[in-house]
Chain A
Amino acid sequence: MLHHTIAPGTITTNSTSSFDDVSVEERYGYENAAYISDDWRYNSKLTFLYGFRLSSLFLLGPGTFNTYDAAGNVTSSATYASGKLVKDYFNLEPRFTASYLLSDESSLKASYNRNTQNIHLLNNSTSTTPADLYVMSSNNIKPEISDQVSTGYFRNFSENTYEFSAEVYYKALQNQIDYKDGAQLILNQDVESLLTYGTGRAYGLELFLKKKYGKFNGWVGYTLSRTELKFPAINDGNYFPATQDRTHDLSVVGIYQLNERWSFSSDFVYATGNAVTYPTGKYEVGGITTFSYSQRNGYREPSSNRLDIGATLEGKKHKKYHSSWTFGIYNVYAHRDPYLITFQNSKTVPNTTEAVETSIFATPIPSVTWNFKF
Chain B
Amino acid sequence: MKELRFFPVFVILLLSLWGCTKVIDLKLGNDSGKLVIEGNIINSDGAQQILLSRNVPFTSTNTYPPVSGATVSVTDDQNNTHNFTEGPAGTYSSAPFQGLTGATYKMSVISGGATYTATSTMPAPVRLDSIGEKSDAFNSSDNRREISVHFQDPPNVPNQYRFIMWVNNTEVQYVFAYDDEFTDGRYVNLDLVESLTDIYPGDTVKVEMQCIDKPVYTYWFTLMEQQFGGPDGGVAPSNPPSNITPTVFGYFSAHTTQTITMLVQ
Residues of A in contact with B (beta carbons under 8 Å apart)? 11, 17-20, 22, 123-130, 179, 181-182, 184, 187, 234, 243, 274, 276-299, 301, 336, 339-343, 345-346, 351-363, 365-374
Contacts and interface: CB of A to CB of B under 8 A. Distances in A.
Contacts of A128: 224-225, 227-229
A281 B55 contact: yes
Given A129-B225, A285-B249, 12 more contacts: A125-B233, A181-B238, A277-B238, A281-B58, A285-B38, A288-B171, A291-B237, A336-B20, A352-B62, A367-B9, A373-B4, A374-B2
Interface string B24-35: 111011111010
The 7 A-B residue pairs whose C-beta atoms are closest, nearest first, are A125-B234, A281-B31, A280-B31, A182-B222, A283-B55, A280-B29, A277-B236
A222 B28 CA distance: 30
A283 B53 contact: yes
14 contacts: A19-B182, A127-B228, A127-B229, A181-B238, A182-B222, A277-B238, A283-B250, A288-B171, A292-B249, A339-B19, A345-B62, A346-B23, A361-B17, A370-B5
Contacts of B56: 281-283
B136 interface: no
Interface string B184-226: 1111111000000000000000000000000000111111111
A301 B62 contact: no
B3 A372 contact: yes
Contacts of B144: none
A285 B52 CA distance: 10
Most buried by B among A123, A286, A361: A286
A373 B1 contact: yes
Given A18-B189, A351-B61, A127 B230 contact: yes
B242 to A, nearest CB: 10
B12 interface: yes
A185 B185 CA distance: 21
Contacts of B36: 283-285
A355 B57 CA distance: 13
A345 B187 CA distance: 35
Interface string B1-19: 1111111110011001111
Contacts of B235: 123-126, 179
A276 B234 CA distance: 9
Interface string B237-265: 11111000000011100000000000000
A345 to B, nearest CB: 6
A122 to B, nearest CB: 9
Contact of A358 (B19, B31, B218): B19
B186 A280 contact: no
Contacts of A353: 58-59, 62
Contacts of B32: 281
Nearest to A346: B23
A218 B96 CA distance: 80
A295 B60 CA distance: 20
A301 B222 contact: no
B129 interface: no
Contact of A294 (B22, B29, B224, B230): B29
B194 to A, nearest CB: 11
A340 B232 CA distance: 6
A280 B28 CA distance: 6
Nearest to B30: A280
Interface stretch (B78-86, B118-126, B173-181): B173-181
B13 A365 contact: yes
Given A280-B57, A296-B238, A285 B250 contact: yes
Given A20-B182, A359-B20, A184 B221 contact: yes
Contacts of A374: 1-2, 4
B183 interface: yes
Contacts of A290: 223, 249
A357 B20 CA distance: 8
Contacts of A282: 55-58, 60, 62
B225 A126 contact: yes
Nearest to A182: B222
Nearest to A294: B31
Nearest to B64: A284
Contacts of B183: 18-20
A362 B20 contact: yes
Interface in B95-136: none
A286 B175 contact: yes
Contact of A373 (B2, B16, B55, B64): B2
A356 B23 CA distance: 4
B137 to A, nearest CB: 15
A341 to B, nearest CB: 6
Contacts of B239: 181, 292-293
Contacts of B6: 369-370
B232 A284 contact: no
Contacts of A20: 182-186
Contact of A181 (B184, B222, B232): B222
B23 A354 contact: yes
A352 to B, nearest CB: 5
A17 B190 CA distance: 11
Contact of B58 (A17, A343, A351): A343
A295 B12 CA distance: 41
B53 A284 contact: yes
B79 to A, nearest CB: 28
Contacts of B237: 126, 277, 279, 291, 293
B25 A355 contact: yes
B16 A274 contact: no
Contact of A283 (B19, B21, B234, B249): B249
